[in-house]
A and B are shown apart, each in its own frame.
Chain A
Amino acid sequence: MTPALEVSGVSYHFGSRQALDDVSFSVGPACFTALLGPNGAGKTTLFSLATRLFDCKDGWIRIFGQDLRRRPGPALARLGVVFQQSTLDLDLTVAQNLRYAASLHGLGGREVDARIERELNRFGLGDRSHEKARQLNGGHRRRIEIARALMHDPALLLLDEATVGLDVPTRRQLVAEVHRLCREDGIAVLWTTHLVDELDPDQDRVVLLHRGRVRAAGSADEVLEATGAAALDRLFDALPEGPGA
């Protein structure tokens, strides 16, 4: 089966600083994969390459078999993205934000109204469509951003530290909602985080990134075995240079 996301031999550097070094891993269809790593591991760089904000020159990235560099259109059409920073237009209403995102994928007309309703209802925000994004709290804004990323029915969803700045209960709810998307709607998810407690150790795949290199990949047990860590919450301690290095 074609992987939802394939990253192969990707290296990247900013000037003399190597941000990514021969990174390879894949995300299976309808699979929740956590890209885990301490701050400065290279997660956001990898995320930027996977969303084609800039091209990767060494190695390649494919989305459902489509090379992101050679065939960016078909690859990006199947991709939904939630960025670390909030990217909503705060002066626009929720519905206007969603409509704008849909238009960027060539979707317009009544079909978009139905999709807006569908996505807002999915996150229990059906009654907020006419509110300005500025009026929403952090948790609701995040949900709207996920709803926006789903407007064009992507088969792969990338989320970069999507729970940053949220309180613990909201964070838990959001993690559960994205897991549900994966389980019930068959959407593959790459969830970038440095918070180990966001993982479901029984279900999720884990890619452990540290100092720009993949240190371990597989199920939670496989990653624990490869790193020699006693438990997931001790994972970063088991990395060669210690936490945050």
Chain B
Amino acid sequence: MKFLICLKGIIWRELLRFVSQRGRFLSALVRPLIWLLVFATGFRAALGVAITPPYETYIPYSIYVLPGLAAMVQLFNAMQSSLSMVYDREMGSMRVLLTSPLPRWYLILCKLLAGIVVSLAQVYAFFAIAWLFDDQAPGLGYLTVMPALLANGILLGGLGLLLSSLIRQLENFAGVMNFVVFPMFFLSSGLYPLWKVREGSDLVADLCALNPFTYGVELIRFALYGQVDQMSLAVVLGVGGMLTAAAIIAYSPSRGLIRRK
């Protein structure tokens, strides 16, 4: 029972912080919507997307890009959570969390889950607005996509947690944007199908195929159509589990993460 109350408390705090930071909420929504409404409109004419699973017919580019943008929302949210972990550590409020009598690994998992819940709220808000603009997936898909979003949340949240343990100062966070967020997003199947990328460059296509984010996008893409892409599921959960385990080790008292400050 104590464990559940603690989880609830951490999620509740994360949601309260999210709601109180309206700028964060707006930018989380505006970013993918600009991609969807501007970028996708421009590319609609230039890019034809052939019939590839899970799609059963020709689709407009804006439909293709929907799962990638949902994953992007989660990616930015995970980086925002990571940033706030570094901030909390510098400002000291992380210490309040870490002096809880519950096991340290559990507290870190609670933080991870809280970040995922916030990212789900953002993704569904994004889906809702996209739906208004007629960029829609099958109705049931919005339900079946939830486990995929959870799994992708573990992958990206685990990465964010690990990064927060590696970054010593808030100022170093710009590097994360340049070296993690942008390559992860652009070197993935989020914006273009891999076969299309391969037409341009084998190397870039190979890099995309090595990027775990690609599998997160594909997992979401298939789940939106009620299907499970098992390879993607295995990669997302496998890599996500490893990243989370590494973050838990990094935050253990014997590793003395806080000590470095």
Interface residues of A in 71-108 (CB under 8 A from B): 72-77, 79, 81, 83-89, 91-92, 96, 99-108
With a cutoff of 8 Å between Cβ atoms, the chain A residues found around residue B12 in the complex are: 100, 103
User: Count the A residues whose beta carbon is within 8 Å of the partner chain — how many?
Assistant: 37
A51 contacts across to B, CB distance below 8 A: 95, 99
On chain A, the residues within 8 Å of B8 by CB distance are 103, 108
Cα(A74)–Cα(B107), bound, Å: 16
Q: Which of B13, B91, B97, B98 has the most CB of A within 10 A?
A: B13
Please indicate the chain A residues that have their CB under 8 angstroms from the CB of B6 in the complex. Answer: 103-106
Q: Which residues of B contact A79 (CB under 8 A)?
A: 99
A106–B102 CB distance below 8 A: yes
CA–CA, A53 to B251, complex, Å? 10
Q: Give chain B residues whose Cβ lies under 8 Å from the Cβ of A77.
A: 101
Contact of A85 among B1, B13, B91, B101 (CB under 8 A): B91
Give the nearest-CB partner of B260 in chain A: A14
B16 with A96: CB separation less than 8 A: yes
Chain B residues 95-119 with CB under 8 Å of chain A are 95-103, 107
In the complex, the number of residue pairs spanning A and B with C-beta atoms less than 8 Å apart equals 105
Q: How far is the CB of A44 from chain B (nearest CB, A)?
A: 11
What are the residues of chain B within 8 A of A96 when measuring CB–CB?
13, 16
Number of chain B interface residues as a range = 20 to 34
Residue of B nearest to A92 (CB): B16
Chain B, residues 202-216, CB within 8 Å of chain A (1/0): the string is 000000000000000
A76 to B20, CA, bound (A): 31
Min CB distance B88 to A, Å, is 9
With known contacts A53-B253, A77-B101, A106–B1 Cβ distance under 8 A: yes
Majority SS at the chain B contact face? helix
Which residues of A96-127 have CB atoms within 8 Å of chain B's CB atoms? Answer: 96, 99-108
Counting CB contacts under 8 A, is A52 at the interface? yes
Residue A197 CB within 8 A of the other chain: no
Contact status A53-B5, CB under 8 Å: no
| Chain B residues numbered 237-260 whose CB sits less than 8 Å from any CB in chain A | 253-259
How far is B256's CA from A99's CA once the two chains are assembled, in angstroms?
Answer: 28
A8 is an interface residue with CB less than 8 A from chain B? no
Q: How far is the CA of A79 from the CA of B13 in the complex (A)?
A: 22
| Residue of A53, A73, A99, A103 touching B98 (CB-CB under 8 A) | A53
B21 within 8 A of A: yes
Tell me, yes or no, whether B195 is within 8 Å of chain A by CB.
Answer: no
Question: How far, in angstroms, from A115 to B131 measured CA to CA in the complex?
Answer: 46
Rounded to whole Å, the gap between the CB of B190 and the closest CB of chain A is 32
Docked-complex contact A100 and B9, CB < 8 angstroms: yes
* Complex contacts, B1 vs chain A, CB 8 Å: 106
Asked whether B99 lies within 8 Å of A106 as measured between CB atoms, the reply is no
Residue A129 lies at the interface, judged by CB distance under 8 Å to chain B: no
Contact among A54, A86, A100 with B13 in the assembled complex (CB-CB below 8 Å): A100
**B64-117 interface (Cβ within 8 A of A):** 91-93, 95-103, 107
Query: How far is A113 from B207 in the complex, measured between Cα atoms in Å?
Result: 54
- For window 1-18 of chain B, which residues contact chain A by CB distance below 8 Å? 1-3, 5-6, 8-10, 12-13, 16-17
Give Cα A106 to B3, complex, Å: 6
Residue of B8, B96, B99 with most chain A CB atoms under a 10 A cut-off: B99
CA distance A163 to B181 in the complex (A): 42
Q: Which residue on A lies nearest to B9, using beta carbons?
A: A103
Contact assessment for B13 and A53 in the assembled complex, using a CB-CB cutoff below 8 Å: no
The smallest C-beta distance from A89 to any residue of chain B, in angstroms, reads 7
Q: How far is the CA of A57 from the CA of B92 in the complex (A)?
A: 23
Bound: A19/B257 CA distance, A: 17
Our pick among B13, B92, B96, B99 for the contact of A52 (Cβ within 8 Å) is B99
Minimum Cβ distance to chain A for residue B131 (Å): 31
Instruction: Give the top 9 A-B pairs by smallest Cβ distance, nearest first.
Output: A103-B9, A106-B2, A54-B256, A85-B92, A104-B100, A108-B5, A76-B101, A77-B101, A91-B20
7 additional A-B residue pairs with CB within 8 Å, beyond A76-B99, A104-B102: A53-B99, A53-B253, A76-B100, A103-B5, A103-B9, A106-B2, A108-B8
7 A-B pairs with CB atoms under 8 Å apart are A54-B254, A73-B101, A75-B101, A87-B91, A103-B6, A104-B96, A106-B2
